[in-house]
Amino acid sequence: MLYYLTYCFACFAYYLPRLAVNGLRWRTIRGPAGGDDLVLDVPSFPLLNGLPDTAHVIFFQGWNLRAHHSLQKHGDRIREYFTPLPRYRARVNEFILTVREGCDVLVGVVIRHGDYRTWLNGQYFYSLETYAALMKQVEELFGGRKTKFIICSDEEQDTTVFAAAKMDFCFRSGHMIENLYSLAECDYIVSPPSTYGMWASFYGKVPLYLIDDPAQRISTTDSFAVCEG
């Protein structure tokens, strides 16, 4: 459903500038197709150099659109706007309260398998054994402190590999919104490069470790950083 809503909005933003509605003028600014970012909140951006005079309504379309300064400045208002509905907050709070019992450090783990099997030829598709090994490294960072893991995935998983590693964990298979905001209540997050883990880090101000190279050892908590957008 989310895919189709996104697709419909993209089509809307693409065709609307071609329509004249009550004399309004529309413009769509598209982000670069490559890997470069289009930073919107810098003086050199055209929006600050006369663009508002050419359109009443401006749409931005694309992936690599950034506004780093504005995101940091207005981060708390953005978090407030995207606060989950009360029924989701209640379930997340109840879940977190339960899993934190007898736990010193709570670590969220994102396993994204569905689309990552084929995206970029499976570059970020990691086996359960890889995740388990990384989780053991994280556990070692905290020495004698009681560490527990919340594992969230877009698929059902065979969790025997985690049980065999003798880690304290729970597999979170609930609603995707509840999973996302449960991650935001953790002390640390481990995730492949994915906006799912990054949003949880940003929203909850939780230090995040992105698994860019699964062979790279997690040897210090300095490897974690809060995602700022």
Query: Is residue 3 pLDDT above 90, yes or no?
Result: no
SS3 for 61? strand
Residue 9 has pLDDT above 70, yes or no: no
Neighbours of 206 (CB within 10 A): 22
What's the confidence (pLDDT) of residue 64? Answer: 81
pLDDT score at 32: 75
Q: How confident is the model at residue 12 (pLDDT cuts 50, 70, 90)?
A: low
The number of beta carbons lying within 10 Å of the beta carbon of residue 173 is 12
Percentage, residues of the chain above pLDDT 70: 80
What sections of the chain are H helices per DSSP? 2-15, 68-73, 75-81, 86-99, 128-141, 160-164, 176-183, 195-204
Q: Which residues contact 180 (CB under 8 A, 6 or more apart)?
A: 152, 196, 199, 200
Q: Are 147 and 105 in contact (CB under 8 A)?
A: yes
Do 106 and 187 contact (CB within 8 A), yes or no? yes
DSSP 24: B
Tell me: the pLDDT tens digits for 23-59?
556 677 777 776 778 888 877 665 545 554 555 677 7
Angle at the Cα of 116 from the Cα atoms of 150 and 75, rounded to 5 degrees: 60
Tokens found for residue 31: 């982000």
Instruction: Specify the higher pLDDT residue, 224 or 4.
Output: 224
179, 189 Cβ separation under 8 angstroms: no
Beta bridge partners, 153, equal 111
- Amino acid identity, position 135: M
CA quadruple 97, 99, 132, 173: dihedral sign: negative
Q: Span 81-88, mean pLDDT?
A: 95
In angstroms, the CA 9 to CA 162 distance is: 40
Q: What is the mean pLDDT of residues 162-191?
A: 92
Residue spans of the domains in the chain: they are 2-73, 86-226
For residue 1, the model assigns a pLDDT of 45
pTM: 0.82
Measured distance CA(177)–CA(193) in Å, rounded: 19
Angle at 141 between CA 171 and CA 117, to 5 degrees: 45
Pick the CATH number of 86-226 from 3.40.50.11890, 3.90.1150.10, 1.10.760.10, 3.40.50.11350: 3.40.50.11350
Q: Residue for token digits 């065979």?
A: 158
Q: CA-CA distance, 196 to 191, in Å (whole number)?
A: 8
Q: Using 50, 70 and 90 to split pLDDT, how confident is the model at 2?
A: very low
